[in-house]
Amino acid sequence: MTRPDNRAVDQLRQITFTPNVAPHATGSVLVSFGDTRVICACTVEEDVPRWMKHQKVKGGWLTAEYNMLPYSTLDRKQRDITRGKIDGRSSEIQRLIGRSIRAVVDLKLLGPRTLWIDCDVLQADGGTRTASITGGCIAAAIAINKLMAAGKLKTTPLKQLVAAVSAGVYQGTPVLDLNYPEDKDASVDFNVVMTEDLNFVELQGSGEEATFSPEEMMGMLELSKKGVQEIVQLQKAAISAADKPDTDALTDLAAAFGQK
Amino acid sequence: MTRPDNRAVDQLRQITFTPNVAPHATGSVLVSFGDTRVICACTVEEDVPRWMKHQKVKGGWLTAEYNMLPYSTLDRKQRDITRGKIDGRSSEIQRLIGRSIRAVVDLKLLGPRTLWIDCDVLQADGGTRTASITGGCIAAAIAINKLMAAGKLKTTPLKQLVAAVSAGVYQGTPVLDLNYPEDKDASVDFNVVMTEDLNFVELQGSGEEATFSPEEMMGMLELSKKGVQEIVQLQKAAISAADKPDTDALTDLAAAFGQK
Amino acid sequence: MTRPDNRAVDQLRQITFTPNVAPHATGSVLVSFGDTRVICACTVEEDVPRWMKHQKVKGGWLTAEYNMLPYSTLDRKQRDITRGKIDGRSSEIQRLIGRSIRAVVDLKLLGPRTLWIDCDVLQADGGTRTASITGGCIAAAIAINKLMAAGKLKTTPLKQLVAAVSAGVYQGTPVLDLNYPEDKDASVDFNVVMTEDLNFVELQGSGEEATFSPEEMMGMLELSKKGVQEIVQLQKAAISAADKPDTDALTDLAAAFGQK
Amino acid sequence: MTRPDNRAVDQLRQITFTPNVAPHATGSVLVSFGDTRVICACTVEEDVPRWMKHQKVKGGWLTAEYNMLPYSTLDRKQRDITRGKIDGRSSEIQRLIGRSIRAVVDLKLLGPRTLWIDCDVLQADGGTRTASITGGCIAAAIAINKLMAAGKLKTTPLKQLVAAVSAGVYQGTPVLDLNYPEDKDASVDFNVVMTEDLNFVELQGSGEEATFSPEEMMGMLELSKKGVQEIVQLQKAAISAADKPDTDALTDLAAAFGQK
Amino acid sequence: MTRPDNRAVDQLRQITFTPNVAPHATGSVLVSFGDTRVICACTVEEDVPRWMKHQKVKGGWLTAEYNMLPYSTLDRKQRDITRGKIDGRSSEIQRLIGRSIRAVVDLKLLGPRTLWIDCDVLQADGGTRTASITGGCIAAAIAINKLMAAGKLKTTPLKQLVAAVSAGVYQGTPVLDLNYPEDKDASVDFNVVMTEDLNFVELQGSGEEATFSPEEMMGMLELSKKGVQEIVQLQKAAISAADKPDTDALTDLAAAFGQK
Amino acid sequence: MTRPDNRAVDQLRQITFTPNVAPHATGSVLVSFGDTRVICACTVEEDVPRWMKHQKVKGGWLTAEYNMLPYSTLDRKQRDITRGKIDGRSSEIQRLIGRSIRAVVDLKLLGPRTLWIDCDVLQADGGTRTASITGGCIAAAIAINKLMAAGKLKTTPLKQLVAAVSAGVYQGTPVLDLNYPEDKDASVDFNVVMTEDLNFVELQGSGEEATFSPEEMMGMLELSKKGVQEIVQLQKAAISAADKPDTDALTDLAAAFGQK
C-alpha cells in the first residue's frame, strides 16, 4: 500500500501555524495541515450567556463556531444564511470543538467572560475538524496570554493543551492524518482529541456504509496517540512564537501560504 | 460503589420492545430501556432524495429524524419549530441514527425508495440515542419484512442487525447503560454502536469538562460489547414476535408501560 | 344510508383514555376515538408568559400545542421544523384547543403558573382536534389534581369539564363522530366544543367546496349535544381512575392499543 | 342596553365599497364597515399550484392572504417578516377567506389559473375578517368579469355571491356587526359566512373565557341572516358599478374616505 | 427625443398628497407621482430601541419600513413572509428612507420615542423609493405637529423638509422623474435626496449593465435640484392642509385616485 | 487639519493584493487597504440561475456575496445564521458589488455559467465595500484568465477593469480613502465606483445625521477620480503577477500580512 502523497502510515502532513492573521481578534492563527487551511480566532466577550446568569452558574464560558467558506471546496459551498439553516455537519463539528477546548479550560478561573472560538475553513482537504480543534486551542492560548499580560487574569485557566488528529483505514491499513483523496476512499473516519498528558477528550469513530473491527480500532488509536504527541510540540512552539516580537512572522506566513 | 438502582456494573436496565404502536407506519416499536421510552417508526416512501437523482446514484436511501417530545423531560422542552431552529444536539443524534442503520442496509438492494426512521422520545431517562438506534433497527426490520411479504423486495437489504448501548465512568468505575442520575454524575459519555457480528459501526466517547484514560476506555468498550450481545438477542425476539398474530401484543404492551 | 363501520348515525366510535403514558408530564393520557390516537400531556411551568408580566395581568395561563407525528398519516407527514414553518392547520387547531380549555379554567385561581397542553397525534383517522380537546381537558384535570394533592392549589381552578366532538353530513344524512373515510366524503366539517353543563364554548362549521342548510346545521347540533354528554361521562371515569392506584392500568392500556 | 354608537341591535354599520383602488390588480375594492377599512384585491395568475399539477387535479385554484398593515391598529403592529413568522391569527383568517370564496367558485370552470385574493387591513375597528370575505368576493367578481370581457372565460365560474358578518352578545343582548369597543366587551365572537341563497358556508362561534347558551346562539344566527341579506344587495350594486365608466368613482371614493 | 407621456425633460409627473388615509396612524398620507401610489404612515411609539438603552444614547429614533403590496406590480409580487425573508431591494430602500428622514430630524429634541415610517406601495410605476421619502417626510411632519399640539413636544425636532426625486438618461438625454416605461429603458438609475435648503442628503447613481459619463451626471444633478425645489412647495401645502378642517379632503382624495 | 495617520488629503492608504490565498477558488486575492483586509474569491459554476432559464435569458450571470467574519471587528460580530437573517447592510453591499462588476462583464460572452464573487472581510478598518469591489474585480479577472487558458472562453468577457474608493468630509475638508477613525468622525460617506476609462458605474453619497453641500460633493468626486486611477494601475500589476510563476508570492503575501 502506498499513500497518494507517499507518506509513511504514521506520518503527519506538514503542519504550520501562522499567528495573528486576524488582528482584531484577541488571538488568531492560520492553521495548515497540508492543503487544509483554517483561520482560527479567539475573541473575548466580557459577558456570559443568558443561561449561566439564569442558572447562576459561576465562572465563564467557551463556545465555538465552525464554518466552511464558500470557496473552500472544489464545488462552491452555499452559505448557511442562503440555505436558511445551519449545516447539520457544521453544527455537530462546532459542538465538538467547544467541548474539546472546554475540557482543558478551568471555566471558574476564566471569570465572567466568554471565549468565542471561530473556525473558518479557507481550504478543505480533509481533517478540517481536527485542524480546527488544534488551532482553536492555540488561538485560545494566545488570547489567554494577552488577558494575563493585561492583568485581567492572575492564574491561567488553561490547564494544558488539547490537540486532535484523524486516522482511518485506507486500502486495508490504518493510516494517520488522512487527506481528502484518502478520506474519500477510507472505510472508517476516526477522530481523536487528546490532552498533552495523553488522556482522551473525545473519540469518534464512524464507518459509514461499513464497519470496522476491534483490531483496526486499536491500530488507529495507536497512530493517533503518536500524532497528537507530535502536534502538541508544534502547538507549544507556535504559542511561544506568537508572544515574541513579529520579526519572524513574515517568513512563517509565507511558508504557510507558500506550498501551493 | 453502588449504582443508584442497585444494578451490577455490567447489567442492562430492563429492556422491552412493543411492536406496532403506530399502525400507520410500515413498522413501529415502542422501546423501553428502564424509564427511557422512545417511539421508533419506519415509513416507506417510494421515492429517493433529489441529490440521488441529480447525482444519478442507484438504489435507495435511509434517513432518520430524532425529536424529544416536550413532555419527555422533567422541565418541559420547547419544540424546535417554536424556537425556529432544530436543536443542535438533536441534529447530531439523527445523523448518528441514520449512519448507524445505513451501515447494515444494502441500499442497492433496497431499490428506489426511502426508509424514514422517526424516533420520538416519550420519556427521557438517559440513553435516548442508543435506544433510538436499537429501536430504529427493529422498526426498519419490521418494515422490510412487510415489503418482502408484499413482494416488493425479493432479497432482504438488511444484512444484519445493529444495536447500541451507552457506558460511562461512574464514581471511578466503568458501568454499562447509564440512567439519567448516573449520566449526570458520570465523567464520560460513551456510546457504542455495533453489529450483531460484533464489529464497530460508531464509537463516540466524550469527557465534557473532563478527560478519560486509555484504561477507562478499554473497560467501557468491554462492557459495551457484552451489552450489545444481549440486546441483539432481544431485538431478534421482538422482530420475530411482530410478524406473528397479535395475541400476545396486549401483554407485551402492558408490560412495557406497566413498570411505572 | 349505511356508515362504513356500521355505526348508528348518533353512535360514537369506541372511546378509551389511558392515563399516565408520559410519566414526566404532570398529567397525561392516551386518547383513542376508534383508530384516532392522540397523546395529550399537561406540563406545569411555574412562570407566566412575558406579555402577562408586561401588561401586569394577574393569575396564570394555559396554552396548547398540536402536532401530527410524521407517521400518524398514511403518507409520511414532514415535520414542521423541516419545512421551516408551522403548519397553518396545526396553528389553527392549537389556538382552538387553548381557547376551549381556558373557557373552563379560572386563570386567576390557577395562580402565576402556565399549563402547557401538548397534543401529539400518533394515528390520525378523523377527529384529531376534538380528541385533542377532550384529552387535553383530562390531562389538565389530572395535573390540577396533582397540584391540589401537593398543596400548591387550595381551590381547583377547573370549573367544569369541556369536551368536543365532530359531526357532518354523510350521503345526505347528519352523522356523529366521523372517521376518516366518512370525513373525506362528508360535505360539512362540523366541530362542537361544549361544557358539561351543555353550553357552547366553540362552534365551527365549514362546508369547503359546498354549503349546508339551516336544517342540516340543526341536525348536527343535536347529534353533537348527545355525543358530548356521553363523552363527559367517560372523561369523569378516566380522571377518577388516574388518581387511583395503577392496578388496572395495564388492562386499560392494552385495551387502548389492542384493537389493531 | 344602548350600543356605543346608538345603532339598533340588528343594524349594520355604514358599509361602502370603492372599486379599483389598486389599478394593477385585476379587480380591487376598498371596503369600509364603519371605521374598518380593508383593501381587497384579486390578481390572476395563469398557473396553478404545484400540488395540483403533481396530483393532476383539473381546473383552477383560489387562495387568500390576509395582512394587517402596521398602522391599522392603535398600537403599531409589527410586520410578520420582522417577527420572522406569520401571525397565527392571520394564518387562520386567510384560510377562512380562501375556503369561503372557493365555496362559490366553480374551480373547474375557472380553468388552469389561480385567483389570489389579497386583503390588507388599512384600519381595524372590529370585523376585519368578515369585511375581507365580503370585499374579497367583490374583487373576485370584478376580476372574473374582466376575464369574461377579455374572452378568457366563456361561462362565469362565480356561482353566486358570498358575504360575511359578525354578531355577538353585548351586555347580555345579541347584536349585529360589532365594532371594536363592542367586540372588546362582548362575551362571544360569532362569524357567519353565507351565500346569497342563504345557506351556510362557514359558522364560527367562540366564547373565549366564557360560554354561550343555545338561545344566544339562535339569536345571533337570526341577526346574521338579516345582515347578510342586506350586504349582498350592496355587493351587487358595487360589482355593477365597477363595470360602468368611472364618472361616479370620485364621489364614491370620497364618500368612503370622507367620514373621518 | 419624445418622452412616452410627452413631458418636457425637466417636468415632474402630477404629484398629489392625500393626508389621513390611515386614521389610526399619528400621521399618514397617500402619495401619487403619476401612477405610482404609496401609503406613507408615521406611528409614534413611546419607547426607543434596545440598542439605544443599552448604549445609553440620549433622545429618540426614527426608522422606516418599505413594502410592496402584492398587487402593486403587474405580475403579483409574493409577500416577504411567504418567501421567508425580506426582499434585498426592500431592505436597501427602507434603510435609505430612514437615513434620509433622520437627516432632518433632531433626535435629541424628539425625546425618548420612536417614529416608525411605514411605506406600503399600492401601485408601482417607477420612483417608489423617492415617493416614499417624500411622503414619509410629510407623514412625519403631520405626526410631529400632532405631538406639538398635544403638548408632548415644545420645540419641533423637524429642522427642515427633505424631498427626493429620480433622474436618468433616456435615449441619450438626461430626464427628470422617470416613470416605469422610461425607467426600464434608461441606462442610469439616479436618485437624489435633498433638503429644502438644497443640500444633499443622499445621492445614488447606478448604471447597471452600463456606465455613465461625468457630463451625464452633471445634467441629472441639475434636473434633480429643480425637481426637489418644486416638490418641497407641494409638501408644504400638504402639511399645512392636513392641519386644517377636512372640508377639502374629499376633493383631494378623489383627485388622487381619480386619474385612472 | 491633519489626518490621524498623517496622509495627504488625496493620498490612498497602502494597497496590496496577494493572489491565490484560497486555492480551491478559480481566482482569489487577499486585498489590503491599510488595515482593512478582505478575502475575495471568484468561483465558476457551470450553470445559470433558475430565473434566467425560466425567462430564457441568454448568456451568463455574475453575483456577489459579502460577509464580515465575526472577528473582523473590534467587538465580535454575530454570524448571520445565528441571528437568523442576513444583515441589512451586508445585503445592500453585496448587491452593489454584483452590479459594479457586472457593468464591466459582457454576460453574453461569458456563456451559460455563473461567476460567484465572495468577499469575506478578515479585518475591518473602513472601506470594506470599496476594497471588496476592487478585489472582486481582480478575482474575476484571474478566474476569467484561467477559463481562457483552459480554452473554455475564446474572447474575454471582461471589457475593462472596475475599481472603487471612498471619500468623505473630515473636519470640514474632503479627503480620500477614509480609515475607520476618520470614517467615524466624517460627516459624509461617499463611495465611487469607476471604470478604468473613468466613467461612473455607481455613485453613493450619504450624509447620515447630516447633509453636504454641492461644493463638498465636487471635491470628493475629484479626489475619487484620482484614487481610482492609481488603484487601476495596482490592479493591473496584480492580475498580471497572478498569472506568473509563484516565486514572488511569498514575499507579496508576507508584505500583505506583515504591517501589523
CB pairs under 8 A between A and F: 122
d(CA B86, nearest CA chain C) in Å: 7
- Find out if CATH 3.30.230.70 is the number for domain B15-242: yes
Q: Do the bridges between strand C189-195 and strand C162-170 make them parallel or antiparallel, or are there none, so unpaired?
A: antiparallel
Task: Read off the pLDDT band of E244 (50, 70, 90).
Answer: low
Class (C level, CATH) for A15-243: alpha beta
- Chain E neighbors of F210, CB-CB under 8 A: 103
Task: Read off the pLDDT band of E243 (50, 70, 90).
Answer: confident
B89 and A CB contact within 8 Å: yes
Q: Please indicate whether, in this complex, the C-beta atoms of A201 and B207 are within 8 angstroms of each other.
A: yes
Intra-chain end-to-end CA distance of chain C, in Å: 26
Q: Please indicate whether, in this complex, the C-beta atoms of E20 and D76 are within 8 angstroms of each other.
A: no
Which grid cell is F137?
A: 474585480
- Chain E neighbors of F196, CB-CB under 8 A: none
Coil, strand or helix at C34: coil
Q: Please indicate whether, in this complex, the C-beta atoms of D203 and C208 are within 8 angstroms of each other.
A: no
d(CA A57, nearest CA chain B) in Å: 14
Which pLDDT value is given to residue C187?
85
Which pLDDT value is given to residue E260?
34
Q: Which of B76, B128, B247, B260 to mutate to test the interface with C (most CBs of C within 10 A)?
A: B76
Query: Among candidates D142, D146, D147, which has minimal Cα distance to D27?
Result: D142
Beta strands in chain C (DSSP E): 15-19, 27-33, 36-45, 61-68, 114-123, 162-170, 173-176, 189-195, 200-206
Which pLDDT value is given to residue D157?
97
Structural domain boundaries in chain C:
15-243
> Judging by beta carbons within 10 Å of its beta carbon (0-12, 13-18, 19+), is residue E237 exposed, middle or buried?
exposed
Which pLDDT value is given to residue F259?
35
pLDDT tens digits along D163-201? 999 999 999 999 999 999 999 989 898 999 999 999 999
Mean of the pLDDT values across residues A220-225?
96
pLDDT tens digits along C82-114? 888 888 899 999 999 999 999 999 999 999 999
How remote is the C-alpha of C193 from its chain's centroid? 9
d(CA A141, nearest CA chain F) in Å: 16
Instruction: Check pLDDT > 70 for residue A249.
Output: no
Residue keyed to cell 424509564: B35
C127 is in an annotated binding site: yes
**B in contact with C (at least 3 C-beta pairs within 8 A):** yes
Q: Please indicate whether, in this complex, the C-beta atoms of F65 and A65 are within 8 angstroms of each other.
A: no
Buried-exposed string A226-252: b where 16+ CB fall within 10 A, e elsewhere: ebbebbbebbeebbebbeeeeeebbeb
- Chain D neighbors of E67, CB-CB under 8 A: 79
pLDDT over 70 for what percent of chain F? 93
Give chain B's mean pLDDT.
92
Class (C level, CATH) for F15-244: alpha beta
Do residues A42 and A25 lie in contact, with contact meaning Cβ atoms separated by under 8 Å?
yes
d(CA E165, nearest CA chain D) in Å: 23
The CA distance from F153 to E236, in Å, is: 58
C205 and D CB contact within 8 Å: yes
Q: Please indicate whether, in this complex, the C-beta atoms of A20 and F116 are within 8 angstroms of each other.
A: no
How remote is the C-alpha of E64 from its chain's centroid? 11
The CA distance from E182 to E169, in Å, is: 9
Coil, strand or helix at E135: helix
Which grid cell is F152?
A: 473554455
Task: Read off the pLDDT band of C244 (50, 70, 90).
Answer: low
E111 is in an annotated binding site: no
- Chain B neighbors of C17, CB-CB under 8 A: none
Do residues D140 and D179 lie in contact, with contact meaning Cβ atoms separated by under 8 Å?
no
- Chain F neighbors of A65, CB-CB under 8 A: 70, 79, 82
What one-character-per-residue DSSP string does C59-116 give?
S-EEEEEEEE-GGGSSSPPPPHHHHTS--HHHHHHHHHHHHHHHTTB-HHHH-S-EEE
Mean of the pLDDT values across residues A78-88?
88
Which pLDDT value is given to residue A258?
39
Task: Read off the pLDDT band of E258 (50, 70, 90).
Answer: very low
B99 and A CB contact within 8 Å: yes
The CA distance from E236 to E252, in Å, is: 15
Q: Which residues lie across from F28 on neighbouring strands? A: F41
Q: Please indicate whether, in this complex, the C-beta atoms of D70 and E116 are within 8 angstroms of each other.
A: yes
Low-confidence winner among A108-122, B154-168, C123-137, D240-254 (lowest mean pLDDT): D240-254
- Chain A neighbors of B137, CB-CB under 8 A: none
pLDDT tens digits along A93-148? 999 999 999 999 999 999 999 999 999 999 999 999 999 999 999 999 999 999 99
Long-range pairs for C73-78 at CB < 8 Å and ≥24 separation?
C73/B24, C73/C124, C74/B24, C75/B45, C76/B43, C76/B45, C76/B116
C129 is in an annotated binding site: yes
Residues 17-76 of B with CB under 8 A from C: 18, 20-25, 28, 35, 39, 41, 43, 45, 65, 67, 69-76
**F in contact with C (at least 3 C-beta pairs within 8 A):** no
Name the residue facing C217 among D91, D103, D200 (closest C-beta). D200
pLDDT tens digits along A154-202? 999 999 999 999 999 999 999 999 999 999 989 898 999 999 999 999 9
Instruction: Check pLDDT > 50 for residue F250.
Output: no
Mean pLDDT by 10 residues, chain B (260 residues): 94 96 96 97 96 94 97 95 87 95 96 97 97 98 96 96 97 95 91 96 88 94 97 96 60 43
Strands ordered across the beta sheet of F27-33: F15-19, F27-33, F36-45, F114-123, F61-68
D103 and C CB contact within 8 Å: yes
Kindly report the CA angle at B151 between B149 and B156, in degrees rounded to 5? 70
The CA distance from B70 to E156, in Å, is: 53
Q: Rg for chain C (alpha carbons), in Å? A: 18
- Chain F neighbors of A124, CB-CB under 8 A: 24
d(CA B65, nearest CA chain C) in Å: 9
Mean of the pLDDT values across residues E72-80?
94
d(CA A122, nearest CA chain F) in Å: 6
C240 and D CB contact within 8 Å: no
Which grid cell is A80?
A: 448557511
Do residues A61 and A117 lie in contact, with contact meaning Cβ atoms separated by under 8 Å?
no
pLDDT tens digits along D42-69? 999 999 999 999 999 999 999 999 999 9
Tell me F226's DSSP state.
H
Which pLDDT value is given to residue D244?
65
Task: Read off the pLDDT band of D256 (50, 70, 90).
Answer: very low
CA dihedral F13, F17, F22, F23 (to 10 degrees): -170
Name the residue facing A200 among B86, B200, B211 (closest C-beta). B211
How remote is the C-alpha of E203 from its chain's centroid? 14
Which pLDDT value is given to residue A83?
86
Task: Read off the pLDDT band of C243 (50, 70, 90).
Answer: confident
pLDDT tens digits along E144-198? 999 999 999 999 999 999 999 999 999 999 999 999 999 998 989 899 999 999 9
Q: Do the bridges between strand B114-123 and strand B61-68 make them parallel or antiparallel, or are there none, so unpaired?
A: parallel
Do residues B137 and B194 lie in contact, with contact meaning Cβ atoms separated by under 8 Å?
no
Give chain F's mean pLDDT.
92
pLDDT tens digits along F170-216? 999 999 999 999 999 898 989 999 999 999 999 999 987 789 999 99
d(CA D45, nearest CA chain E) in Å: 8
Buried-exposed string B84-120: b where 16+ CB fall within 10 A, e elsewhere: ebbbeebbbbbbbbbbbbbbbbebebbbebbbbbbbb
Which pLDDT value is given to residue B249?
47
On whether ipTM exceeds 0.90, the answer is no
Class (C level, CATH) for D15-246: alpha beta
